[in-house]
Amino acid sequence: MDAGFFLWFGTFAQSLIGTYGYVGLFAVNLIGSATIILPLLPGFLFVFAFGATLDPWLIALSAGAGAALGELTGYAVGKGGGAVLEWKHNSWLKRAEKWSNSHGIFPVIFIFAATPLPADVIGILAGVIDYDVKRFLLASFLGKFVQFAILAWAGFYSLSWILPYFGF
């Protein structure tokens, strides 16, 4: 993919959010999180930017829901490709499954979703070990909600005094 595509998609996403608001943020974060390993578009940038103009709590709610649903692609890859992974990395997966059964994987999913850690990796692992999809979605949503609430409020409080320095 070339830079032109990313510029076009960024403009498209900005137009989508500008027109549809919270639904647009949901869609942009759904698309951005549905890609595995490398995001097509980092939705968190739009969460930060639109924090200055939209309600930060509703941004966190809509973008978090979209991002959590997008993370299901990693879960589906793990669920569908689990047989291949189990065959190649059987001892590692058995240790991971044993650890998750004794300690729980919910907080790990939450931490990966709430931080810049690659949530796709933990989504694939959750699919491989057949972790409950509802719990996976809940942990992903809660983590993304926390991350996006922080970013939206940061945009709310900072952009109004940063942008004048750049002539906006």
- pLDDT tens track for 108-120: 999 999 998 888 8
- Residues 49 and 9 sit within 8 Å (Cβ to Cβ): no
Residue type, 146: V
- Residues 36 and 77 sit within 8 Å (Cβ to Cβ): yes
Q: What pLDDT is recorded for position 142? A: 99
CB-count burial class (<10 Å; 0-12, 13-18, 19+) for 125: buried
The dihedral built from the CA positions of residue 41, 120, 49 and 31, taken in this order, carries a sign that is positive
Q: What pLDDT is recorded for position 133? A: 96
- Residues 141 and 64 sit within 8 Å (Cβ to Cβ): yes
Q: What pLDDT is recorded for position 39? A: 66
Going from N- to C-terminal start, the domains of the chain cover 3-166
Instruction: Name the pTM for this structure.
Output: 0.82
- What's the gap between Cα 44 and its chain centre? 8
Q: What pLDDT is recorded for position 88? A: 57
- pLDDT tens track for 36-61: 876 667 788 889 988 888 999 999 99
Low-confidence ranges of the chain (pLDDT < 50): none
